[in-house]
Amino acid sequence: MSREIVVHKYGGSSVATTEKIVNIAKHLIEVKKSGKDLVVVVSAMGKTTDGLIKLAKEISHDPDKRELDRLMSTGEQQTIALLSMALIELGQNAISLTGEQAGIKTLGLHTKNTIESINNEIILKNLDEGKIVIVAGFQGVNENGDITTLGRGGSDTSAVALACSLNAACKIYTDVDGIYTIDPRVYENSKKIQYISYEEMMELAYLGAGVMEPRAVELGFKYGIEIYVGKTLGENNGTIITFKEKIMEKKEIRGISINKNILMVTLDGIPTYARNLYPIFKKASEYGVIIDMISQNDVIAEKGSIAFTSPRTDEESLRKMFKELECNYEILINSNVVKVSLVGIGLATSINTISKIFEVLSENNISFHQISTSEITISIVVEETIAEKVARLLAKKFEL
Amino acid sequence: MSREIVVHKYGGSSVATTEKIVNIAKHLIEVKKSGKDLVVVVSAMGKTTDGLIKLAKEISHDPDKRELDRLMSTGEQQTIALLSMALIELGQNAISLTGEQAGIKTLGLHTKNTIESINNEIILKNLDEGKIVIVAGFQGVNENGDITTLGRGGSDTSAVALACSLNAACKIYTDVDGIYTIDPRVYENSKKIQYISYEEMMELAYLGAGVMEPRAVELGFKYGIEIYVGKTLGENNGTIITFKEKIMEKKEIRGISINKNILMVTLDGIPTYARNLYPIFKKASEYGVIIDMISQNDVIAEKGSIAFTSPRTDEESLRKMFKELECNYEILINSNVVKVSLVGIGLATSINTISKIFEVLSENNISFHQISTSEITISIVVEETIAEKVARLLAKKFEL
């Protein structure tokens, strides 16, 4: 009989108390009894990681990143130990593994690592022994043997990467019951999506839908692993992320996301030739600053200006980086902006979407800072105060 | 110029807040500036370890010990990251190392490991690079690559073991300003000891003085490393633990300790032949239960009884162990007893100490459960309610 492995992932709010952990343990034993081999990825309990970051910020505005990784990675180590204990207490053989023990090798800068490879030998050995294997999400080990973390939402990436490596099904359990066309807290008529393509989900995830980490979706896409997203211990009626070919109904707009973790940098009085801009983006890459939307459309390049967006969490690094660059142009950083994005695989073939969007903006007298479009996405940067209103108006227009 | 290395150890209450951590960082930079190479061992912040144990107990009365080790060891990982961050923030090059990264290999049962060896290569390399090296106390790694812990007070052992390995001076910083003849909270006239021998300190430590971990003192003794014990960021007037040959005044009784972490097991109706007792003590060793004072003095061995003391923290293991043994004799476990011990290198040559002790017990009409004597120690097990009174009476008698 061929082996069937399932990877489950439980987020922070799902493991926030020991009571919740014990309930998950009971559920896992049921799944195991149904004949499946189980690898379980967990996040830190509740707001543990935020609490640790707060401690670090009490010590430094910009804590050393190697040390920050070490600090942040302790939360997941606690959860794996507790969940494994709960399983053993209930009579189920189990073992906890850190990212390193699970063979997760990473590359890159501390606090923003990517998974380079997974050696699943130890996991398979423990599954063979009948154990449920509990793996610390969000972490791995780099070539120096130092513990690393995978950035916000990194546990999703851990789970999908393990599923890819083990050729397993992947189920992401969270505190919402699936992916919605738009955040129900923003627009109450929002609908749950049953199937969504990797491409659409990647855009929605990158754009701040917050439910799934985009790199995780990308990995699933690359290795052809379907990802289920649903409520922890809930009904089996969440959202399935799969290939677009499997989705019958190709909607013009599948969903709208609101990304609050952005700021907008405007450089004024800089001749916008590539030779002037290259040092900036090179330095940004050295500092690990993510550059998102870039807009530059000057008539006279010598008196140019350029704007781009970055995550707000990169603000400290941006300020340091510009200080080091000793620029002779004006730098404006606006942290009160938000990006509203519309995503749909139907967008590519639709001819009047842009027109509809501008109809809404114009009718409601809404001004915006930036707009950019791609194959399946249209993003608009607006002031934070009006972002949710804009999202609601667009959701209504596109009947989401 | 030859290198001078100092190992500092800071306990949980010394690193309980980020403010305290920053103050320690400032002090360390001063020490480093004075030309010394610094290795710093730290415990978990404040009551972190207790909080983690509480979580584990919510899940299981007797949590799986491998998982418990993983859970408990996260506290120290947080402190090393924060202290290292604080040093780097203050402009001092520093690096944090887990027990494993510091080369601390352990042997034994989870939660009660001993240090087998230290490979100090990585520490020396980092000292060579001008860094202050921060090492997680209380932890190491076993032959399976699993994280292990060294039992209560294990950070002292980490510090002294590192000092031995690096041939360094060793300073244990804590919230008391030295070793006292008897706990000042019990007897207000208690005096601070300037010099104490390893032997006396080992006995006092084993007997529950609580200031220093006995294995740490033993290691210092074995490798000839003097240990300073004093207040964190306090005056340099603590206690020095050294060879008895270096101590001029050899007092009959150097100190009195009270050990509350004991229980007394009485087995009644067991023929007290070695063949009957061996399986019990063999099983105890398998379960990692520590056996302390044993008393057995029956006239008729067939109708015998035997009593011994163990740490209260081993109660759960004891109950499991007796269950497995399926005994046909009566088992009484009394957790309301306390051990009061008198320690002094002068005891060996004193002829009237025992008599003085019984004078005190008799005059005050005090009954006791067990008494045992060794070269430099006399221990008496009494009911918890009268333990402090007994200690005070004896302290007065021996002018401590």
Whole-angstrom distance, CA of residue B320 vs CA of residue B325? 9
Q: Which tokens in the block code for residue A275?
A: 């030779």
Averaged pLDDT score across all residues of chain B? 90
Dmax over CA atoms of chain B, in Å, equals 73
A68 vs B: CB within 8 A: yes
Contact B211, B228 (CB under 8 A): no
Lowest mean pLDDT among A37-46, B174-183, B241-250: B241-250
Q: Which residue has the higher pLDDT, A336 or B326?
A: A336
- Measured from the Cβ of residue A237, the count of other Cβ atoms closer than 10 Å reads 11
Interface probe for B, chosen from A60, A67, A96 (most Cβ of B below 10 Å), is A67
Within 8 A of B18 by CB-CB distance, chain A residues are 55, 58-59
Q: Which chain A residue lies closest to B52 (C-alpha atoms)?
A: A78
Q: Which tokens in the block code for residue B312?
A: 């209260």
ipTM: 0.76
The pLDDT, as a whole number, for residue B298 is: 61
CA A331 to centroid of chain Cα atoms: 29
| CA-wise closest residue to A178 among A254, A232, A101, A136 | A232
The pLDDT, as a whole number, for residue A151 is: 85
Q: For residue range A328-341, what is the model confidence (pLDDT) as tens digits?
A: 888 999 999 999 99
For range B341-367, the mean pLDDT: 82
The pLDDT, as a whole number, for residue A272 is: 73
Cα radius of gyration (chain B): 22
Strand residues in chain B grouped as ranges (E): 5-10, 37-42, 94-97, 104-107, 114-118, 132-136, 139-141, 147-149, 169-174, 195-197, 227-231, 239-242, 255-259, 263-268, 294-295, 305-310, 330-334, 337-343, 370-373, 377-383
For range B239-250, the mean pLDDT: 83
φ and ψ of A180, to 5 deg: -110, 155
For range B332-344, the mean pLDDT: 92
Question: Across-strand partners of A295?
Answer: A307
Interchain pair A60, B89: CB under 8 A: yes
| Predicted TM-score of the model (pTM) | 0.79
Q: For residue range B114-158, what is the model confidence (pLDDT) as tens digits?
A: 999 999 999 999 999 999 999 999 999 999 999 999 987 899 999
For range B107-119, the mean pLDDT: 91
Residue-range domains of chain A with CATH: 5-175 (3.40.1160.10)
Residue B79 pLDDT exceeds 80: yes
Interchain pair A82, B55: CB under 8 A: yes
Interchain pair B82, A96: CB under 8 A: no
B144 vs A: CB within 8 A: no
The pLDDT, as a whole number, for residue A45 is: 97
Lowest mean pLDDT among B33-37, B40-44, B376-380: B376-380
The pLDDT, as a whole number, for residue B299 is: 56
A148 vs B: CB within 8 A: no
Q: For residue range A156-197, what is the model confidence (pLDDT) as tens digits?
A: 999 999 999 999 999 999 988 899 988 888 888 888 999 999
Q: Which chain A residue lies closest to B51 (C-alpha atoms)?
A: A78
Interchain pair B78, A88: CB under 8 A: no
| Alpha-carbon gap: A318 to the closest alpha carbon of chain B (Å) | 18
B-contacting residues in A 39-58 (Cβ below 8 Å): 52, 55-56, 58
CA angle B113, B13, B195 (to 5 degrees): 75
Residue B2 pLDDT exceeds 70: no
The pLDDT, as a whole number, for residue B376 is: 82
Query: With helix as H, strand as E and coil as C, how does chain A read?
Result: CCCCEEEEEECHHHHCCHHHHHHHHHHHHHHHHCCCEEEEEECCCCCHHHHHHHHHHHHCCCCCHHHHHHHHCHHHHHHHHHHHHHHHHCCCCEEEECCCCCCEEEECCCCCCEEEEECCHHHHHHHHCCCEEEEECCEEECCCCCEEECCCCHHHHHHHHHHHHHCCEEEEEECCCCCECCCCCCCCCCCECCEEEHHHHHHHHHCCCCCCCHHHHHHHHHHCCCEEEEECCCCCCCEEEECHHHCCCCCCCCEEEEECCCEEEEEECCCCCHHHHHHHHHHHHHCCCCCCCEECCCCCHHHCEEEEEECHHHHHHHHHHHHHHCCCCEEEEECCEEEEEEECHHHHHCCCHHHHHHHHHHHCCCCCCEEEECCCEEEEEEEHHHHHHHHHHHHHHCCC
Give me the percent of chain B exceeding a pLDDT of 90.
59
B88 vs A: CB within 8 A: yes
| Alpha-carbon gap: B166 to the closest alpha carbon of chain A (Å) | 23
Going by the DSSP 8-state scheme, the letter that residue B109 receives in this structure is S
The pLDDT, as a whole number, for residue B327 is: 82
Going across the sheet that includes B227-231, the strands are: B94-97, B132-136, B37-42, B5-10, B169-174, B227-231, B239-242, B195-197
B77 vs A: CB within 8 A: yes
Q: Is B175 annotated as a binding residue?
A: yes
B104, HSE (Cβ side, Cα atoms, 13 Å): 30
B101 vs A: CB within 8 A: yes
For range B157-164, the mean pLDDT: 96
Interchain pair A21, B59: CB under 8 A: yes
Q: For residue range A229-286, what is the model confidence (pLDDT) as tens digits?
A: 999 998 889 999 999 888 776 677 888 989 888 999 988 888 877 777 888 888 888 8
Q: Which tokens in the block code for residue A10?
A: 């439980």
The pLDDT, as a whole number, for residue A298 is: 61
Going by the DSSP 8-state scheme, the letter that residue B213 receives in this structure is -
Positions of chain A with pLDDT under 70: 1-2, 208-209, 249-250, 297-302, 348-349
The pLDDT, as a whole number, for residue B249 is: 67
Q: Which tokens in the block code for residue A400?
A: 């989401």
Give the three-state DSSP class for B338. Answer: strand
